[in-house]
Amino acid sequence: MTLDTVLLLYPEIVVLLVATWTYVGGAFATRESARWNWFALGGLAVAALQLYRQLEPTVFTDQVSTFGPMTADALMYLARFVALAVGAVFVLATMRSTPRGQSGEIVGSILMVVAGMMLVAGATELVTLFLALELISIPTYVILYLGRRGAGGDEAVTKYFFLSILSSAVMLYGFSFLYGLSGAGGLAASTKLADIRASLVAAEAAGTLSPLASVAFVLVLAGLAFKLAAVPFHFYAPDVYHGTSSVNAGLLAVAPKIAGLIALVRLLFAMPGVESLALAVISAVALLTMTLGNVMALWQANVRRMLAYSSIAHGGYLLIGLVVALHRPDDPTAQSGLAAALLYAVVYSVASAGAFAALAYLARGTREVETLDDLAGIGRSQPGVAALLAVFMFSLAGIPPLVGFWGKLAIFTGPLDVYLASLPSDGAVVADSALALGQWYLALAVIGVLNAAVAAAYYLRIVAAMYFRPAIDDAEPQGGLGALAAATLCGLAVVAGGIFPGVGLKYAQSAGRAALAPSSEPPIEATAHAVRGVSRLPTPDR
């Protein structure tokens, strides 16, 4: 730990300090509660400012890209900005919906989750990565516990707690194998991902790759699949979302998913040699996750359960991007596949967070929106929120010109590209296995788009309930203006991102490139490029 690392982590430190202050102060304060939200927003703004200042390339000249356990690359910076934005949205959304006297705890926990997400983004060392992931999990327990609703809520929190602990343990077990593998071949064992990668590359080249690498991969994937709510570790999601408040459900749908994806990306490309296994397993998981999520969502009567399955399904789509990246990690296709996955995660998060915030706004007193009946007729009584929710639903369904469409465009281009590249050109002979692999990618694309069409069915149910049915309950929404503001911000992002998608695509690509930058390259160059790629210029093609 050097001063550089501390400087790099300045924004995270700010966020954590504010979080701690909120926690401690919240215990003493008994007065009106929204002030903690404002305080937290201020903290997030300061952190964002610090982060922005770090982007000045001069700050990084003559410094190595790895700062102790952290790596500063485009992926890290982008994910940190996303985390801060996610934090701001949820801090806004909880402004009114929290019970009296708990505001400090909830806001503090959200900030801790944000700090955890930011740390995951840059962590390239096993212990740091694990701690960062736990920094997301533990405050989540608190949030869920505080936001529980009735006996079902208690059960959901307990379920989440135990499963989360279990998944962390499984992941940690996987990490222990990785640590052991890094010491194979007489090298000193290391927890740094770059060292693990180097040692695995050497072992693979020597033909002595231990089968334990596969074991490590499976354990790590199992642990992170819980965070992504991917099949078969998805089943907690509907119960937990159902049992908690809309805002909490939104946080759960967004924060672990982004962090889990980034952690998976970091770890996956530190494990060369397991690519073919990873490809098979992850593509199967992706197929099952999106199909099961969408089909189950069709049958749900509760809105939060429906969106829980929807969030499961979206986890499946973004895994497609990862599968594309696994095909040939050194290929440009892989970069765009990874970029697509990252873009999709953000695009999904914006719409999903917005949808949950809008639902939170529509709560009537302590009664949250539960069934479609609660949404009936709000197209007339609450035209603004209804329009926002409709925008989120259409974006999640991938209808242009909303941002969700560009996410789908990016995701589905990948497997199609791999398939077309696998076709024999001009009578060249191609191995059957390569052809079969190509067809597998085609199947992934076709099943993916058909899933998108199925998904539209339940998104439309929500829209139809809002606009085509008469109101059942005319009570005024009481979720507070904060939630409305959060939903509005997300709505603006969804529309603006849909009309001007170029910016998001460009940044996602630089992040994808950074995540795949081979570790053999001098790290200093990789960083310099990547950092500049974020701040201003497009990275020149190398």
Kindly state the smallest distance separating residue 463's Cβ from other proteins, in Å. Answer: 8
Q: Are 222 and 233 in contact (CB under 8 A)?
A: yes
| 323 sits near other proteins (criterion: CB under 8 A) | no
| 413 sits near other proteins (criterion: CB under 8 A) | yes
**Nearest to other proteins of 55, 505 (CB atom):** 505
| 64 sits near other proteins (criterion: CB under 8 A) | no
Inter-axis angle of helices 246-268 and 74-97, nearest 10: 170
Q: Are 120 and 133 in contact (CB under 8 A)?
A: yes
Q: Are 179 and 126 in contact (CB under 8 A)?
A: yes
Could you say which of 212, 298, 468, 496 contacts other proteins (CB under 8 A)? Answer: 468
| 464 sits near other proteins (criterion: CB under 8 A) | yes
**Nearest to other proteins of 328, 380 (CB atom):** 380
Could you say which of 309, 412, 440, 441 contacts other proteins (CB under 8 A)? Answer: 412
| 295 sits near other proteins (criterion: CB under 8 A) | no
Kindly state the smallest distance separating residue 348's Cβ from other proteins, in Å. Answer: 17
Angle at 379 between CA 378 and CA 381, to 5 degrees: 55
**Nearest to other proteins of 64, 457 (CB atom):** 457
Largest CA distance in the chain: 78
Could you say which of 460, 471, 485, 524 contacts other proteins (CB under 8 A)? Answer: 460
Angle at 72 between CA 67 and CA 76, to 5 degrees: 135
Distances (CA, A) of 330 to 264, 286, 335, 337, 518: 18, 22, 8, 12, 8
| Positions in 415-454 near other proteins (CB under 8 A) | 416-417, 420, 423, 445-446, 449-450, 452-453
**Nearest to other proteins of 123, 372 (CB atom):** 372
Q: How many residues bind other proteins (CB under 8 A)?
A: 37
Could you say which of 10, 469, 485, 528 contacts other proteins (CB under 8 A)? Answer: 469
Torsion from C-alpha of 450, 451, 456, 462, nearest 10 degrees: 160
Kindly state the smallest distance separating residue 456's Cβ from other proteins, in Å. Answer: 5
Distances (CA, A) of 44 to 17, 19, 68, 103, 114: 11, 10, 25, 16, 9
Q: Of 394, 424, 355, give the one whose Cα is nearest residue 498.
A: 394
Could you say which of 27, 45, 430, 457 contacts other proteins (CB under 8 A)? Answer: 457
Q: Of 110, 90, 98, give the one whose Cα is nearest residue 32.
A: 98
Q: What are phi and psi of 394, to 5 degrees?
A: -65, -35
Cα–Cα distance, 232 to 291 (Å, whole number): 12
Which residue stretch of 76-84, 177-185, 312-320, 498-506 sits at the interface with other proteins (rule: CB under 8 A)? 498-506
- How many Cα atoms within 13 Å fall on the side-chain side of residue 298? 12
Could you say which of 461, 483, 511, 519 contacts other proteins (CB under 8 A)? Answer: 461
In eight-state DSSP terms, residue 185 is G
Which residue stretch of 124-132, 149-157, 350-358, 404-412 sits at the interface with other proteins (rule: CB under 8 A)? 404-412
Kindly state the smallest distance separating residue 438's Cβ from other proteins, in Å. Answer: 12
Cα–Cα distance, 284 to 63 (Å, whole number): 41
**Nearest to other proteins of 389, 456 (CB atom):** 456
Cα–Cα distance, 294 to 495 (Å, whole number): 24
Residue 191 host element (H or E): none
Cα–Cα distance, 512 to 85 (Å, whole number): 20
| 328 sits near other proteins (criterion: CB under 8 A) | no
Could you say which of 42, 99, 401, 522 contacts other proteins (CB under 8 A)? Answer: 401
Cα–Cα distance, 237 to 292 (Å, whole number): 13
Could you say which of 409, 471, 485, 528 contacts other proteins (CB under 8 A)? Answer: 409
Could you say which of 506, 523, 528, 535 contacts other proteins (CB under 8 A)? Answer: 506
Q: Side chain identity at 39, as an amino acid letter?
A: F
**Nearest to other proteins of 136, 463 (CB atom):** 463
Which residue stretch of 250-258, 322-330, 346-354, 413-421 sits at the interface with other proteins (rule: CB under 8 A)? 413-421
| 471 sits near other proteins (criterion: CB under 8 A) | no
Kindly state the smallest distance separating residue 99's Cβ from other proteins, in Å. Answer: 37
Kindly state the smallest distance separating residue 311's Cβ from other proteins, in Å. Answer: 20
Q: Binding residues for other proteins, per CB under 8 A? A: 379-380, 394, 397, 399-401, 405, 408-409, 412-413, 416-417, 420, 423, 445-446, 449-450, 452-453, 456-457, 460-461, 463-464, 467-469, 501-502, 505-506, 509, 538
